[in-house]
Structure 1
Amino acid sequence: MLTEKMWNAIRDIYNAILSHPFIKGLVNGTLEEEKFKYYILQDYLYLREFSKALAIISAKAEKQDEAMLFSSHLQSIMRVENELHNFFMSTWNISEEEKAKLIPSPTNLLYTSFLLSTVLYKPYFEAVSAVLPCYWIYMEVGKELLKKGSPNYLYDRWIKTYGGEEYEKGVRAVLEIVNSFKLTPEEEATAIRTFRIASIMEYMFWDSAYKLEKFPFNF
């Protein structure tokens, strides 16, 4: 199956994510809250762009059930993710004015630009391959962390969002779509490469939060 080949192609990346100090710090509660806050705020910005990518994929889908699936995921993100982010925003007393002034980190801008350019200009199979890591890696990381939980209630709240059965159900549906693709060997190689590139950026996203990454100049 294509998804099996994809996962085999990113095992090094996934293992690096699980062993990253950001992820380890979530579980044992030692992660500095400043870094987690940075991550949540960047994730808030990221998901606005990811939602646009899903809307485009939904429009590109030739099968009605697939179009409806991605459309439903778009609505789910807007509901569930907004609820999660609003919880953290209210916890940290972040106002609407402050939210409006947020700017994406270099990695965030790189990742979302890659996603949007891929879903806009590349074939449907490649577009789905680009967004799949955000679905799949989060599910696998969430399931792994759910086994351990976190002594920090903020981190534990985040873990339970991505480690739940409802989230996994949505991911499995996308995996089925990927495995239904009828691709040439060249197209399959492209799908795997696109999936790996986006997976690398998933690692970079957590790494950038741990490093509190910033642009070298203001804009």
Structure 2
Amino acid sequence: MDFCKEVRKQTEYYWEASLKHPFVQGIADGTLELEKFKFYMLQDAYYLKHYMKLLAMLAAKANEDEDVAYFLETANFIREAELELHRSTFKELHVTPEEIRNFQPAPAAYNYVSHMYQAFYTGSIADAYAAILPCPWLYQEIGVALRKATPGVKLYQQWIDLYASTEMEETIEKQKEMMNRFAQMPGNNERELTAHFKRSCYYEWQFWEMSWTCQDWQQEVYMNEHATIL
């Protein structure tokens, strides 16, 4: 069973919606407002810190030495590459220490992280991995799709270059192989694995929307009340 091919096919709508989202397209053509990108980077740093913790927790949950080593290496890569990009970007975007101290995760970011922890604590290593795989896989595909983009904005070009790299492509191939192997382990429920994967694809799309609207908790309450009235 090639689990990854099947779930990729089933979640095509979310992948297309992410690639076509005005936030992503704004990075590609350089028209995205820097304030929105700043909001996104703060939320993404929050997400990545928890993603890194989950990788370390998966290393503790893994039985194979190779998997333990890989989870720890990937966590270290995120710390050195992605979070370093965030730190340098924060300087260019003039993110202040006060903004970092007062940071609050937006609803979509909080819900996404909570979903990944839920998959880890209530399921198998396959469940947890199905919940965290869509993020790097989607970003890598977006990076490849935007390889020829010329945003004309240094920060946006750096973002594209990171996810369009051949190293990232090799990493994702390795991760898909791991996911297929985990999915074949005895006792796994393919329906549950698929559900975890699909929810994460949905939250990936929501992450762009959250950043595009600079979502906050007050805004979320208003939208829910308005939907109820309608």
* Matching of residues 19-38 of structure 1 within 5 Å: 19-38=20-39
Give the distance between the partners of 1:137 and 1:66, measured in 2 at CA: 22
Separation of aligned partners in 2, 1:165 and 1:101: 37
In 2, Cα distance between equivalents of 1:112 and 1:75 = 19
**Aligned match of 1:71:** 72
Q: What corresponds to 2:54 in structure 1?
A: 53
Pairing 1:201–2:196 present: no
Q: Which amino acid aligns with 2:66?
A: D
TM-score by structure 2 length? 0.90
After superposition, residues 6-155 of structure 1 pair within 5 angstroms as 6-155=7-156
State how far apart, in whole Å, the 1-side matches of 2:131 and 2:95 are.
31
Structure 2: gaps spanning 5 or more residues:
220-230
Contact 1:149 1:159 in 2 (8 A): no
Is the Cα–Cα contact under 8 Å of residues 124 and 188 in structure 2 kept in the other structure? Answer: no
Give the deviation of 1:174 after TM superposition.
1.1
Structure 1 stretch displaced more, 35-44 or 172-181:
172-181
Shift of 1:93: 2.3
**Which amino acid counterpart does residue 58 of structure 2 have in structure 1?**
I
User: With structure 1 as the length reference, what TM-score do the two structures score?
Assistant: 0.94
Distance 1:4 1:53 in 2: 24
Q: Tell me if structure 2 keeps the 8 A contact 1:58–1:68.
A: yes
| Match of residue 190 from structure 1 | 192
CA RMSD of aligned residues (A): 1.6
Q: How many residues align?
A: 217
Native 8 Å contact 1:56 1:120 kept in 2: no
Question: Which amino acid counterpart does residue 207 of structure 1 have in structure 2?
Answer: E
The change in CA–CA distance for 1:148 and 1:92 in structure 2 (over 3 A counts) is closer
User: Structure 1's 139 and 187: CA in aligned 2 closer, same or farther, altered over 3 A?
Assistant: same
Q: Does 1:211 align with 2:213?
A: yes
Provide the rounded CA distance (Å) in 2 between the counterparts of 1:71 and 1:104.
25
Taking only the aligned residue pairs, the percentage that are identical comes to 29
The SS at the match of 1:216 is: helix
Q: Could you tell me how far 1:183 is from its partner in structure 2?
A: 4.8
AA in 1 matched with 2:14: I
Equivalent in the alignment of 2:225: none
Long gaps (5+) in structure 1: none
